[in-house]
Amino acid sequence: MKNKEVLKTVLIFIILFSTFIILLTLISMFPSKLISKNVEKSLEVLKKEGNFPKIKYALNYRLDNYTDALMINTAYSIDSREPLTSALLARRNYQCNRKEKLALIEIDSENTIQNLEHTLREENTEYCEYSRYWHGYLVFLRPLLLFMDYAKIRILLILVINILLIITCYYIWKKINLKYAFAFFISMILAASIHLIGLSLQYSSIFIISLCSTLYILLKQDKINIYILFFITGGITCFMDLLTCPIITFGIPLIIYIALNENKDLKDIVKIIIKLGIYWGLGYCAIWFSKWLITDSIYKTNTIESAINKIKGYSGMEEGININISIIDSFIANIEYIFPIISILIITIILTIPNIFIENRKMLLKNLPYIIIAIIPFVWYAVTKKHAYIHARFTYKNLVVTTICLSIVALNNLQYMVKQLNKTTNTRSTK
């Protein structure tokens, strides 16, 4: 980085950090009794559906009511008399003496829906702190709970996400081409079930961030500092997310930015991918570590030590979780959720590559950046192998990045082969 870039990045970090603290403090200022009625109604929906209800006609898709109940509990447990403390510690009334029990790829620990009910009935006499995350979703969830319950919030999120998806696809068509818009849309539907994402608070923020960042790139491609945008996107991802599928907010905007710059030299494109990855990662990690640092500095909570131990456990550097998991186990656990889609795309690419390689190496070079991006989720799974295995029910959504890339490559190859076939046919008919 040049000195000007470093100063600009530091300034952006300070603005982000300050904004996040202010926003969380502000939304912690009103008493929870104002949202109690809508939390009650929300609890009724959660109790009826259970922790991980499956959606009919959606491939292996389950809602995450388990985490949504935790999020609503955190929103309700905020103490408006101590807004800054509530903002930083994310205390929630809870039965803390939980015992984690691992069963294949699901953690069946405390019943978060039951805990929410105990909180509403004022039966929980203790609280837990979840301070290693920012819980930025509270900036939207608490105000929304003033006016609507969980069921209505779901409807709102579905509308917002699907409208963003349609607008994004439209501009991909206009700014790039219809083929890429189709690859984007079909991958989002089949690999991520994006039309249903709004049914879970847990997943919604990641896809909203991804679509907004992508749309901004499409609309302002010549007027933005792309590296600063990725730094901001990484920071906002850390603020909003609970380590669900964060790579989506990096991979999806990256795909579209590369598609807009396909004419550049391959070496330059690879450099751009690496540099954007560094900026996104800096934004994500700097914002996350700053949360641990300020919490520890003010409240002496050992958040840094606790967070690092958790990271070590989930990455496999330390036996924090009592099961042996290999990187391959992590890959398989995630791939199996969308195995049919991935298989069809890979088979299509394998069948078309020999022809492309022999006849048009330019097409092969055009596809290589997407192959590189397609590998990124697997790098994430390798680094966070235990987390990716245990929580595969939602981490598999990172593979939407892979699916979009493979769809683009498959369609590029098929289009080229059809053109070649038409040329051959026309030549024969002329003769």
Reading the chain (431 residues) residue by residue, the pLDDT tens digits are 677 888 999 999 999 999 999 999 999 999 999 999 999 999 999 999 998 888 877 667 889 999 999 999 999 989 889 898 888 888 766 544 443 333 333 334 458 888 888 888 876 556 677 788 999 999 999 999 999 999 999 999 999 999 999 999 999 999 999 999 999 999 999 999 999 999 999 999 999 999 999 999 999 888 889 999 999 999 999 999 998 999 999 999 999 999 999 888 889 999 999 999 999 999 999 999 999 999 888 888 777 877 787 777 666 665 544 567 889 999 999 999 988 888 888 888 887 776 555 556 677 788 899 999 999 999 999 998 888 998 888 999 999 999 999 999 999 888 877 777 776 666 666 65
User: Both tokens of residue 104?
Assistant: 């294949």
Burial of 353 (0-12, 13-18, 19+ CB in 10 A): middle
pLDDT of res. 424: 66
- Hey, which residues does 107 pair with through a beta bridge? 102
Contact of 145 with 193, CB cutoff 8 Å: no
Q: Which of 60, 50, 56 has its CA nearest to residue 394?
A: 60
CA distances from 250 to 200, 233, 257, 277, 279 (A): 21, 8, 11, 7, 10
pLDDT of res. 308: 80
Q: Which of 360, 343, 349, 366 has its CA nearest to residue 414?
A: 349
The model carries a pTM of 0.90
Burial of 103 (0-12, 13-18, 19+ CB in 10 A): exposed
Q: Which helix (H) or strand (E) holds 282?
A: helix 266-299
Report helix, strand and coil shares of the chain as percent, to nearest 5.
75, 5, 20
Q: Which helix (H) or strand (E) holds 127?
A: strand 127-129
DSSP state letters, 18-49 = HHHHHHHHHHTSS-GGGGHHHHHHHHHHHHHH
pLDDT of res. 301: 77
Q: Which of 275, 246, 200 has its CA nearest to residue 49?
A: 200
The upper half-sphere exposure of residue 31, i.e. CA atoms within 13 Å in the direction of its Cβ, equals: 4
**How many CB atoms neighbour CB 267 within 10 A?**
8
pLDDT of res. 101: 33
DSSP code for 243: S
CA gap 116, 121 in Å, rounded: 9
Q: ∠66-71-77 over CA atoms, to 5°?
A: 125
**How many CB atoms neighbour CB 273 within 10 A?**
17
CA gap 163, 76 in Å, rounded: 29
